[in-house]
């Protein structure tokens, strides 16, 4: 029995056993009121949103229980997901790849409203989430100037903004400039919150789409060899990826980076503690020849301040080009979180092993999956 079929056969149990579902929310379910709020007295809407999937099936006993294994109310950080939940999300994402325009599946989120509450612009991330919502028949309220809500002059707290916006929508996708903002928002909101990046903190849907892409491209996650290349010190992406890959067996990581932007010790120590093999290398060609995935990243100029000479030196050091492609194995792929500069030469795009645009597209499927699970349950 696959993970997915397990999931679906016991979805009602997950719904019912959710400790957040108060008696008020249950009453709500019986009245079949997904929104607006059941009266005006602060019912937990998160639990309520799961009613559709669960309430009517309470009578039929599940064959077995997965407990709350796959249950989550918000998406705040990559670490919140264990290996099994990742696998379950990936199965949903996979099913999203087959949804066609105007099919019943493409309407599964009809009637739901997502608020994209962005305190700083991030057009790429925003469009990806909004496309995901609309591909499933949902609709979107957009703001890219959410700072106006809490301008210095007006000074509203994030919590108050969340309490207002949750009155207008069914799920909030939050981009914020402060680490920890998503967690605060989720603690306040009675509807699900997805973290779409909070400052130097987390960007969990990016981490998920990276792991999903490796599985889709290579066909497995256990036993893979991944070379992380470029800015390993500042890149939120590679740090999260290293963290997530530690959940799989026999993974080997190679770190290839200029000295000024080496992988930090906290991640190295974490990997060691989890029994993940890693090594640092200055030989991109050798690493590329061994790896299943060459994960290239952009050297982030904005992190170097006035030390532009250091930036220029770091920037030109490890380039993915035809020479690298030549030593890479046939089944291996090049990934990149995008946007890319000249750290990947333009003609690499034409090689079938250049996976980065497929990776960007996978972001759509992962986000469709997260929206589906948060709003409808498994």
Scan residues 151-170 and list those touching its own copies (CB under 8 A): 153-157, 160-161, 163-165, 167-170
Task: Among 70, 81, 90, 112, indicate the residue that binds its own copies (CB under 8 A).
Answer: 112
Instruction: Name which of residues 328 to 357 contact its own copies (CB under 8 A).
Output: 338-341, 346, 349, 352, 357
- Among candidate residues 2, 20, 110, 124, the one labeled active-site is 124
Of 56, 58, 61, 127, the one binding its own copies (CB under 8 A) is 127
Render 213-274 in DSSP notation, one character per residue: HHHHHHS-STT-EEEEES-TTT-HHHHHHHHHHTTSTT-EEEEE--GGGPPPHHHHHHHHHT
State yes or no: residue 320 binds its own copies (CB under 8 A): no
Does 43 engage in binding with its own copies (CB under 8 A)?
A: no
Query: Site for its own copies (CB under 8 A): how many residues?
Result: 72
One of 2, 32, 179, 259 touching its own copies (CB under 8 A): 32
24 binds its own copies (CB under 8 A): no
In the complex with its own copies, the residue whose CB is nearer, 54 or 254, is 54
| Burial class, 21, CB count within 10 angstroms (exposed 0-12 / middle 13-18 / buried 19+) | buried
Q: C-alpha 30: how far from its chain's center?
A: 33
Task: Tell me how far apart the alpha carbons of residues 167 and 42 are, in angstroms, rounded to a whole number.
Answer: 11
Cis, peptide link before residue 212, omega less than 30° from 0: no
> Does 40 contact its own copies by CB under 8 A?
yes
Q: Is 120 helix (H, G, I), strand (E, B) or coil?
A: coil
Tell which residue, 322, 132, 341, 334, has the closest CA to residue 214.
334
- Cβ proximity to its own copies, 31 vs 285, nearer residue: 31
Position 22 contacts its own copies (CB under 8 A): no
Is there binding between residue 83 and its own copies (CB under 8 A)? no
Contact range with its own copies by CB under 8 A, out of 70-78, 104-112, 273-281, 319-327: 104-112
In angstroms, what is the minimal distance from the CB of 101 to its own copies? 3
Does residue 124 have an active-site annotation?
yes
H/E/C letters for each residue in 200-223?
Answer: CCCCHHHHHHHHHHHHHHHCCCCC
Q: Is 110 a catalytic residue?
A: no
Token pair in block for residue 147: 């700072």
DSSP for residue 100: P
Q: Active-site residue 188, yes or no?
A: no
Q: How far is the CB of 310 from its own copies (least distance, A)?
A: 16
The correct pick among 9, 17, 22, 37 for binding its own copies (CB under 8 A) is: 37
DSSP strand E in the chain: where? 113-118, 139-143, 171-176, 193-198, 225-229, 252-256, 277-280, 293-296, 333-335
Residue positions annotated with a catalytic role: 124-125, 154, 175, 203
């Amino acid at each position: 029995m696959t993970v997915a079929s397990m999931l679906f056969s016991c979805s009602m149990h997950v719904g019912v056993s959710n400790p957040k579902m108060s008696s008020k929310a249950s009453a709500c379910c019986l009245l079949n009121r997904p929104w607006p709020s059941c009266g005006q007295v602060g019912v937990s809407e998160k639990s309520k949103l799961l009613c559709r999937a669960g309430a009517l099936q309470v009578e039929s006993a599940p064959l077995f229980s997965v407990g709350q294994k796959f249950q989550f109310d918000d998406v705040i950080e990559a670490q919140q997901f264990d290996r099994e939940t990742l696998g379950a999300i990936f199965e949903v994402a996979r099913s999203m790849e087959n949804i066609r325009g105007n099919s019943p599946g493409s309407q599964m989120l009809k009637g739901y409203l997502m608020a994209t509450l962005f305190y700083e612009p991030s057009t790429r991330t925003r469009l990806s989430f909004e496309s995901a919502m609309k591909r499933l028949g949902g609709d979107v309220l957009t703001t890219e100037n959410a700072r106006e809500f809490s301008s210095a002059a007006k000074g509203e707290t994030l919590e108050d903004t969340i309490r207002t916006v949750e009155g207008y929508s069914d799920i909030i996708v939050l981009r914020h400039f402060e680490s920890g903002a998503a967690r605060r928002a989720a603690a306040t909101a009675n509807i699900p919150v997805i973290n779409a990046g909070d400052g130097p903190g987390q960007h969990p849907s990016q981490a998920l789409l990276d792991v999903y892409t490796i599985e889709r491209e290579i066909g497995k996650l256990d036993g893979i060899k991944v070379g992380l290349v470029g800015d390993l010190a500042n890149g939120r992406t590679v740090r999260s990826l290293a963290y997530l890959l530690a959940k799989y067996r026999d993974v080997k990581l190679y770190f290839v980076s200029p000295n000024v932007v080496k992988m930090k010790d906290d991640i190295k120590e974490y990997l060691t503690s989890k029994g993940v093999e890693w090594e640092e290398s200055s030989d991109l060609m050798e690493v590329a020849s061994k790896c299943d995935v060459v994960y290239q990243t952009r050297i982030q100029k904005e992190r170097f301040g006035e030390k532009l000479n250091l930036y220029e030196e770091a920037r030109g050091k490890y380039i993915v080009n035809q020479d690298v492609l030549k030593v890479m194995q046939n089944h291996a792929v090049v990934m990149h979180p995008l946007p890319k500069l000249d750290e990947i030469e333009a003609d690499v795009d034409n090689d079938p092993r250049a996976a980065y645009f497929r990776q960007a597209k996978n972001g759509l499927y992962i986000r469709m999956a997260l929206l589906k699970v948060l709003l409808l349950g498994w």
